[in-house]
Amino acid sequence: MSRKETMTSRERVLKALNHEIPDRVPLDLGGNQTGIHKNAYRSLIKHLGLAEEVQIMDAVQQLAQPSEKVLERFHVDTRYIAAGAAGDWKGGIVQAVRNGRKWHDLTDEFGIRWSMPDDQMLYMDITLHPLANATLKDLKDYPWPKGDDPGRFAGLRARALQLRKETPYAVISGISGVVYEICWYLRGLEQWFCDLMTEPQFCEAMLDQTLKFWMDWFRAFLDEVGDVVDVIMIGDDLAGQDGPLFNPTLYRSIVKPRHKQLVQYIRSRTKAKIWYHTCGGCLEYIPDLLDNGIDILNPVQVSARHMEPAMLKQRFGKQLVFWGGGCDAQHILPRGTPAQVAANVRQNMAALKPGGGYVFNNVHNIQGEVPAENVLALYDTAYEFGWYS
């Protein structure tokens, strides 16, 4: 039986975010954590018979920019805007040869080098941690980028207003507020974990630098579009498959105060809902994230420990919007049949959609090996099963 939509996409998203019941569950695709790998996208557009040139919207994750035709085909209710880089940042991907292997390198504004081997071309990983051997004094002398550089925000308001005034879609920001992860990107993960245990003063000094960057960034960002965007994405991965990546007491003493300061500042400047992204079994952190002031949890990694959708909805569904959790992205989406994908989507949606407070997306990005037929099953099932009576 065909259904008739009674809301615009933006109305639908806002209803869900306010824990009210829309006409159907809103659908999302195209963000830094809700995107699609270029290889899967190529397979998808070929399957759909679309002749498109694939544009990369995230070089590190090699995510494609979904076209309007694809977004409309899947009834996607969201559109994304993102600030850019500082005006004087050179940027760009350069080719290099190391140990007889050709690499595609991108050095970001923090001096972190991301690299992708030419014989793989799947993702970029960090190959240079610029502060791996730094001392506390070195942190003071390091050339930290300026978060409020005007070049980042050139044309941002005009683009956001165009989405708000000329389209029916909810306006979502690109990823930002990465206070914690940038520290280990700069330091190296193993060394950073050692620092948390042995050099907390050093860690706090680094966190203060990244917090300053994002506080400055958000001051300028919210000046531009704080009255236009509907959702602001921030995030740091705090958990892995089996739970927290490091001792939660360290999070609460060292990281959480900075997270809370940033979230509360954003809340003081905008009515937009605040989305927090962390992968993994993050159940233990949900009360902390709520205390920080977030509204939305993404990606809801349903295959991780203690992340069962029905339990999460029962415990936190009145306080927290779940954005994601659509399908087991580790096992079923890449390796299952379309029928198995559809069954998993229906199971997860049945747990998460009651009463509103849910936006559908896969668990994180659709990876390169996912067959086009499974992408179709993912979104077509979500659209068909997502209607509220």
Alpha-carbon 282 to chain mean position: 15
> Would residue 196 count as lying in a domain?
yes
User: How do beta strands 243-244 and 239-240 pair?
Assistant: antiparallel
What is the total count of domains within the chain? 1
Question: What share of the chain has pLDDT > 90, as a percent?
Answer: 98
Sign of CA dihedral 336, 342, 346, 348: positive
Residues ≥6 apart with Cβ < 8 Å to 355:
19, 21, 317
Residue 159 has what pLDDT? 97
What pLDDT score was predicted for residue 3? 84
- 93 domain-assigned: no
Domain around 177: 9-88+129-385
Averaged pLDDT for residues 220-228:
98
Evaluate whether residue 122 is within a structural domain.
no
**Which whole number is the average pLDDT over 66-79?**
98
Quote the pLDDT of residue 309: 98
pLDDT band at 91 (very low <50, low <70, confident <90, very high): confident
For residue 310, how many other CB atoms are within 10 A of its CB?
14
Cα–Cα distance for residue pair 318/303, rounded to 1 Å:
22
Confidence check: pLDDT of 199 > 60:
yes
Q: Residue 159: which of 85, 216, 83 has the closest Cα?
A: 83
Q: Classify residue 100: in a domain, yes or no.
A: no
Length, in residues, of the chain: 389
CA gap 166, 160 in Å, rounded? 10
Q: How far apart are CA 7 and CA 12, in angstroms?
A: 6
What is the spatial distance between Cα 108 and Cα 116, in angstroms, rounded to a whole number?
14
Residue 108 lies in a domain: no
Phi, psi of 90 (to 5 degrees): -75, -45
Measuring CA to CA, how many Å separate 360 from each of 13, 75, 122, 302?
10, 11, 26, 13
Does residue 3 form part of some domain? Answer: no
- Domain assignment of residue 176, yes or no: yes
CATH number where 40 lies: 3.20.20.210
pLDDT digits (tens, 9 = 90+) for 148-192: 999 999 999 999 999 999 999 999 999 999 999 999 999 999 999
Residue pLDDT, tens place only, 47-61: 999 999 999 999 999
Read off the pLDDT band of 110 (50, 70, 90): very high
For helices 338-352 and 309-316, angle between their N-to-C axes, nearest 10 degrees: 20
User: What pLDDT is recorded for position 90?
Assistant: 87
Please check whether residue 98 lies inside any domain of the structure.
no
**How does pLDDT run across 284-322, given as a tens digit for each residue?**
999 999 999 999 999 999 999 999 999 999 999 999 999
**pLDDT score at 2:** 66
